[in-house]
Structure 1
Amino acid sequence: MPPKQISTADIIFPVLSGNSLSSTLSSLKRSTLSTSNRLHSIDSDAEFVCAVADAYRRPLVANERCGSWYIPLERKTASAYFKSTDGHMGEWSFSLRRLNVQVLEVAGKHDGLRRWQMRDSRLHPERKAGSGGSSSLHPIARGTVRASNLLIRTVAGMPDALSKTIPTWCAVWNRLLFPHSPEAHQLYTPRQSVSDSEHSQIAARLDSFVELAQELGLNLASLRAHLTKPLRPIWVTQESALPSSPPDFQDFHPVILCTSSRRVLGGEVSEGGYVQGAGDDAEGWACGLTPQLFWENKQQLLETAEGVLPDLISNLLEQYSRSESNAVSAAVPLEPATWLSVCPYASLMQHATTDFDAVISCTSTSDAALEQQKKSNHCHLKCTTGKLGSRDLRVALPALEAFMRDLPRDSSLVVSCETGKDISVGVALAVLCLYADERGTRTLAPNPSINKPFIKQRLSWIMTSFPDAKPSRATLQSVNAFLFSPRETEPMARSLVDEDKRA
């Protein structure tokens, strides 16, 4: 009997079965982008990152927010913060808020091997720049680099943080630290990622970026001591040919920009569970898991089934919270105002209260024991956490003036909040703007003239002393609103001004 011919009536369409094609594909994508698949993909990509570090024999610097996912704890040297938005078309910028001077220190500290490496989790198509050869010159940017047995291929469509933000940063610092070496002032960008037109437009803005940085009044001499040569970016992806032996760069400190993930063609569903850029946007998939917790418990996490992972992560977070409550983080002095420091609230309660004459605590409730210990040398600014806490700052900050007015001039002061990196940094910024002179020395009366460049200069003190500080935009907006608000000149304030002049 011949087979029956199939008609349209015999076909069960997805829409009729109660499950549309789009929802089916969405379901498949969600299952592929599971937490388990992401963690396995991160582990795989981290092996490549470590292989690059070994090939160049250079330490690893994580470009946050997601860079730390790809670096084992014992191999991470430092963190940096380079934003892709500072490299977007027409929005090119040199961040005065994120100077990343800690990277200069790493480059200088490892000058014997001139070693450091940046990484980013996203990968984009790459175009080969040529074939290998020990005597060949391989074009990696607008300029060439001679490297023995080294082929570096240029990346087309690389994330803007790697193709433009960091190259701009390198060029600006080279001009600041090597002003009399014009050969070091060139901008290097990957040819296949950045067009000639865009390259020229960025290069045309470098002088203005340098002028803005000079207005911060940075101690360039101390920063210059870290480097013996200019910086120059080099790009590496999973399709790059790694050197068989560590190359020696005679004329510059190489800034090796490593894109950790491999390119996915046809979407994640076709990759057998591999997720490109798996560490990105962890807030949406990690269930609170952090890079530190991942690396401390990697094997257990990778061996746990998807359905059980949320419970495991919850338990790990609870254990970490208990251990963290007993951890002590040192207070960070904000040079050149060494009389002023910031620290997390937990550390403040464990040891910092005895190390400082005065305390400003930014918490939702005041601690009775702290008030009893410090008495008039304690100022509580009622602030919750997160964005709400940053908004609370607008209401709380005016109390700062009365506290500082009555505080003895030679007092050491520490400011704390829950993390020690956000709200406390905003309060410290307000203190530096109002009560520190250009040398960082404490003044009794508030500075009479404050403008935006002045605030940026004081913020640069903080970010240079404390690169891990993370003052949110909302916190900085609250500080600006307070500093630019009208303040009455009271008789006491006028007398303090006169006293400062006499001193």
Structure 2
Amino acid sequence: MPDALSKTIPVWCAVINRAIKIRYPELPDSWDVKLYTPPHVVSTQEHRAIELLLDEWSISLANSSYDLAKLANPLRPMWITPSTSTFPSLPPPGSGKFCPVICISASKQISDAIERRGGGFSYVQGSGDDHELWGMGLTPAIFWRHRKELLDTPRSHLSDLVESLVTNPFPTESNKSPPTAISHLRGRILICALADLQSQPSGEIDQEDDTSYLLVTADPKAQDNEAQPAQPSDGGRVLHLHVASGKRGQYQFLRDILPRAMGFVGRELKQGRKVCIACETGKDVSVGIALAASQKYFDDDGTPIFEGANAGNKQTIRTRLEWIVASRPQANPSRATLKRVNEYLLTPEEFARGR
């Protein structure tokens, strides 16, 4: 059974249950905050080691800016595998006992590594977490959009179908997702992937459109953008930047992309416009820029500010990342991106200039 089903989901169920109890102390003492793990997969020692960490995580979640709904019943994971002989006993609806979270694994437990697949699938350690290696680029969105076709296709033809669905370079309008407005920022900052834009924005934007665009394109050969004007030369409402990959790209993101992006975002916000920030995935670089802008140009209530610096601290930056994730759950900035954002915001300006 993959760790996601045997540990991650059980941990989240317990953490959410405990955080809700902290947020809503009026809940009855019978509110279940126990950690449940499958005993045949997670040892007693490991189970106890996880339990020692739950309170810290629960307090952190309870003290965050995330909305936590007051659930009718606590969450409780349950497991079904090919070795399950009977279906788990579920509480009657409205009984107030618990809300089941069913974890299903197609892998069967085997005693010999060379055993052929029979009623289930032999579990390969780590394979469930490394979908990049076996998924051929198939994403949940593509799967659900074409699920009938995928499920009806014979196994021998499945790889060809997945490849054709993934490599389509021209997404249809139905495949596009609208830019995500960060609600806590009054919708003034939006995030999306470049492919989600209806068309490539140019400097000539309809005056009735109150949105400006900051586009960041990945380019392995990208040089610093410092040779370009600090702002679009015509005062236009589209700024297109290029960022390299690897360590050079991270240095460029800190010293070039973020300063130029903040100048553009600040100017457009001050003009009363919204700013849509787009990168290749809509999950990493664009989120990092939006995070920096939300700290620099918005106060702790999400109200725009334009006078004086608002560098904040690690906690206020973390809170603003929570605002972004709450509106755009697919946001997943890398550790390197978050580190550069913190460095940009928290490093004294005179020290940054001397580096």
**TM-score over 0.5 (shorter chain):** yes
CA distance in 1 between counterparts of 2:51 and 2:67 reads 25
CA distance in 1 between counterparts of 2:193 and 2:155 reads 32
SS at match of 1:187: coil
1:401 aligned partner, one-letter code: M
Query: What's the CA shift for 1:207?
Result: 2.6
CA distance in 1 between counterparts of 2:248 and 2:317 reads 23
Query: What's the CA shift for 1:286?
Result: 4.8
For the aligned residues, what is the CA RMSD?
3.7
CA distance in 1 between counterparts of 2:78 and 2:118 reads 31
Q: 1:215–1:453: 8 Å Cα contact kept in structure 2?
A: no
Q: 1:167–1:187: 8 Å Cα contact kept in structure 2?
A: no
1:361 counterpart (209, 212, 215): 215
Unaligned runs of 5+ in 1: 1-122, 124-158, 490-503
Unaligned runs of 5+ in 2: 220-224, 226-230
- Show the counterpart of 1:27: none
CA distance in 2 between counterparts of 1:237 and 1:274 reads 8
Would you say 1:187 and 2:34 are equivalent positions?
yes
CA distance in 1 between counterparts of 2:102 and 2:312 reads 40
Query: Residues 245 and 462 (structure 1 numbering): CA distance in 2 closer, same or farther, change over 3 Å?
Result: same
Note the 1:476-491 alignment, pairs <5 A.
Answer: 476-487=338-349
Q: 2:106–2:121: 8 Å Cα contact kept in structure 1?
A: no
Query: Residues 447 and 173 (structure 1 numbering): CA distance in 2 closer, same or farther, change over 3 Å?
Result: farther
Aligned length: 319
CA distance in 1 between counterparts of 2:131 and 2:60 reads 34
Q: 2:215–2:279: 8 Å Cα contact kept in structure 1?
A: yes
1:342 aligned partner, one-letter code: I
Q: 1:387–1:474: 8 Å Cα contact kept in structure 2?
A: no
- Show the counterpart of 2:73: 229
Q: Deviations over 1:252-297 (max 9, x none)?
A: 2112222232224423563379753476334334554556368444
SS at match of 1:457: helix
Q: 2:81–2:104: 8 Å Cα contact kept in structure 1?
A: yes
- Show the counterpart of 1:261: 107
- Show the counterpart of 1:435: 297
SS at match of 1:468: coil
Q: 1:358–1:374: 8 Å Cα contact kept in structure 2?
A: no
Q: 2:90–2:100: 8 Å Cα contact kept in structure 1?
A: no
- Show the counterpart of 2:285: 423
SS at match of 1:398: helix
1:398 counterpart (259, 264, 267): 259
- Show the counterpart of 1:203: 51
Q: 2:108–2:120: 8 Å Cα contact kept in structure 1?
A: no
Query: What's the CA shift for 1:451?
Result: 2.3
Query: Residues 193 and 267 (structure 1 numbering): CA distance in 2 closer, same or farther, change over 3 Å?
Result: closer
- Show the counterpart of 1:35: none
- Show the counterpart of 2:191: 342
- Show the counterpart of 1:379: 239
CA distance in 2 between counterparts of 1:245 and 1:195 reads 23
Q: 1:342–1:416: 8 Å Cα contact kept in structure 2?
A: yes
Query: What's the CA shift for 1:416?
Result: 0.6
- Show the counterpart of 1:45: none
Query: Residues 427 and 301 (structure 1 numbering): CA distance in 2 closer, same or farther, change over 3 Å?
Result: farther
Query: Residues 175 and 396 (structure 1 numbering): CA distance in 2 closer, same or farther, change over 3 Å?
Result: same
Would you say 1:271 and 2:132 are equivalent positions?
no
1:174 counterpart (11, 17, 26): 17
1:357 aligned partner, one-letter code: T
CA distance in 2 between counterparts of 1:201 and 1:258 reads 25
CA distance in 2 between counterparts of 1:310 and 1:211 reads 45
- Which stretch shifts more, 282-291 or 356-365? 282-291
Query: Residues 445 and 258 (structure 1 numbering): CA distance in 2 closer, same or farther, change over 3 Å?
Result: farther
Query: What's the CA shift for 1:460?
Result: 1.0
- Show the counterpart of 2:228: none
CA distance in 2 between counterparts of 1:285 and 1:169 reads 26
SS at match of 1:229: coil
CA distance in 2 between counterparts of 1:208 and 1:244 reads 31
Query: Residues 388 and 287 (structure 1 numbering): CA distance in 2 closer, same or farther, change over 3 Å?
Result: farther
CA distance in 1 between counterparts of 2:50 and 2:163 reads 46
Query: Residues 378 and 193 (structure 1 numbering): CA distance in 2 closer, same or farther, change over 3 Å?
Result: same
Query: Residues 344 and 289 (structure 1 numbering): CA distance in 2 closer, same or farther, change over 3 Å?
Result: closer
1:260 aligned partner, one-letter code: A
Q: Deviations over 1:283-341 (max 9, x none)?
A: 3345545563684444445133xxxx7666544444x3233588431111112112111
- Show the counterpart of 1:68: none
TM-score normalised over the length of structure 2: 0.74
Q: 2:300–2:316: 8 Å Cα contact kept in structure 1?
A: no
Q: 1:421–1:471: 8 Å Cα contact kept in structure 2?
A: yes
1:330 aligned partner, one-letter code: P
Query: Residues 330 and 388 (structure 1 numbering): CA distance in 2 closer, same or farther, change over 3 Å?
Result: farther
CA distance in 1 between counterparts of 2:8 and 2:159 reads 36
